[in-house]
Amino acid sequence: MTKSSADKKTPGLQTRAIHGRQHPDPLTGAVNPPIYASSTFVQSSPGVHSGWEYSRSGNPTRAAFEAALAELEGGAAGFAFASGLAAQAAVLDLLDQGAHVIASNDLYGGSWRLLHRVRERTAGLKITHVDASDAAAVEAAITPETRLIWIETPGNPLLSIADLPGIAEIGKRRGLITVADNTFASPVVQRPLEHGFDIVVHSVTKYVSGHSDIIGGAAIVRDAPDLIDRLKFLQNATGGVLDPFSSFLALRGLKTLPLRIARHAANARAVAEFLESHDKVAQVRYPGLRSHPQHNLAARQMSSGGGMVSFFVKGSPEQTIRVLESLRYFALAESLGGVESLVGHPWSMSHGSIPEPLRRAAGITPQLIRLSVGIEDVEDLIGDLEQALEALGQERARVVVA
């Protein structure tokens, strides 16, 4: 291969994670961007500066992370925020008072809370939830006031899959902003912008950072100058930006994202297959399994099933709690996407803010368990789940004897 042909070759994902849109520090040559812990920057004359003036408006450490994440998602610009919900709030600020939003029905509880318990009241937004795996259902929900389609894929907590190309085509044809929450997948597993979406949002806290040590969020925009300018204005105007220290840690985590996701996905598939074969499990939801309702759709737009697995226990709500309490390597905690395995109870944790009738209507019951499968030795993780489910069986036997 000649040098000229090698130069034209698109670098691989891991290469882009380490080198994409990243440069040594121009002042010192440092390989990693320094933490610029400065709130303000000197100007040579009023309004004349080096490109940096105030760290809410822009900070070199944050900018380095924003550029790197935009590179992985295939976006033109990235904007980092203090949390995933802060990123979502800024994106919703693109809308005018009274706009109509179509949202997927398998949605993180915090997103539901922001839409219904905040923006319905403060901005008069009107929200319609649909099955986003069915592009026709999405289009049927459009009204003259519709301005934005918001989907999460895989969905939280049931891991439903939205039809990315179908919805993107509808948004483009009908002149609507399309937004995809890519937190559960990460840009390693899928890149919604490549399917035609306008904006991707992340809870950077999760897979992007990957070590459960920061809170952060991001929005990445396709090559659309108007949307980029508006979101840049909103990031500065509303001020919920990611701090330099967290930006540094997020950028460090991003460099190993492809490696980590490969292990997460391999472990998750093995865990899902084990659970599907267990007689005390009623149903497993994992996009990589053929039993998943949208498996074929997932196979077309995802490179793997990802690292999240949800399943329903055969038993009572109390017995489900006993399983959660019996796990050793799966830590019972909020969040996901870290190197360590976590287990959550959507009914009482991540989706507890949604009214009970709506939780049940969405398929969220007290018997649902959500796993964030880490990068530990998979035999240990399967052994942990096996002993917890066996404890459930022993409890049921004691109930029968009694």
Co-location of 215 and 358 in the same domain: no
Q: Which three-class secondary structure state does DSSP give residue 181?
A: strand
**Active-site residue set:** 56, 108, 181, 206
Beta bridge partners of 101: 127, 148
Structure tokens at 373: 């499968």
Farthest CA pair distance, the chain: 84
Is there a domain that residue 380 lies in?
Answer: yes
DSSP tag of 178: E
Containing 235, the helix (H) or strand (E) segment is: helix 225-238
- CA angle in degrees (0–180, nearest 5) for 151-154-159: 120
- CA angle in degrees (0–180, nearest 5) for 194-197-202: 90
Stated pTM of the model: 0.94
CATH code (residue 300): 3.90.1150.10
pLDDT tens across 163-210, in order? 999 999 999 999 999 999 999 999 999 999 999 999 999 999 999 999
Co-location of 223 and 187 in the same domain: yes
Cis? peptide before 46, omega within 30° of 0: no
Write out the chain's pLDDT in tens, 402 residues: 344 444 568 899 999 999 999 999 888 999 999 999 999 999 999 989 989 999 999 999 999 999 999 999 999 999 999 999 999 999 999 999 999 999 999 999 999 999 999 999 999 999 999 999 999 999 999 999 999 999 999 999 999 999 999 999 999 999 999 999 999 999 999 999 999 999 999 999 999 999 999 999 999 999 999 999 999 999 999 999 999 999 999 999 999 999 999 999 999 999 999 999 999 999 999 999 999 999 999 999 999 999 999 999 999 999 999 999 999 999 999 999 999 999 999 999 999 999 999 999 999 999 999 999 999 999 999 999 999 999 776 654 444 333
How many of the other CB atoms lie within 10 Å of CB of 236? 14
Containing 267, the helix (H) or strand (E) segment is: helix 257-276
Domain termination residue (choose one: 253, 280, 315): 253
Q: What was the pLDDT predicted at 401?
A: 35
Residue with tokens 């070199």: 60
Co-location of 80 and 196 in the same domain: yes
Co-location of 304 and 378 in the same domain: yes
Is there a domain that residue 1 lies in?
Answer: no
Which residue type sits at 380?
D
Nearest to 151 by CA among 141, 284, 14: 141
Co-location of 60 and 201 in the same domain: yes
Domains: count for the chain = 2
Structural domain range at position 221: 13-42+52-253
Backbone angles phi, psi at 150, to 5 degrees: -120, 115
Domain termination residue (choose one: 253, 271, 304): 253
Instruction: Give residues with Cβ within 8 angstroms of 177, minimum separation 6.
Output: 94, 147, 148, 149, 171, 198, 199, 227
The Cα–Cα gap between 62 and 199 comes to 19
Co-location of 205 and 87 in the same domain: yes
CATH code (residue 161): 3.40.640.10
Structure tokens at 43: 């100007």
First-to-last alpha carbon distance for the chain, in angstroms, is: 75
Domain termination residue (choose one: 225, 253, 281): 253
Co-location of 78 and 225 in the same domain: yes
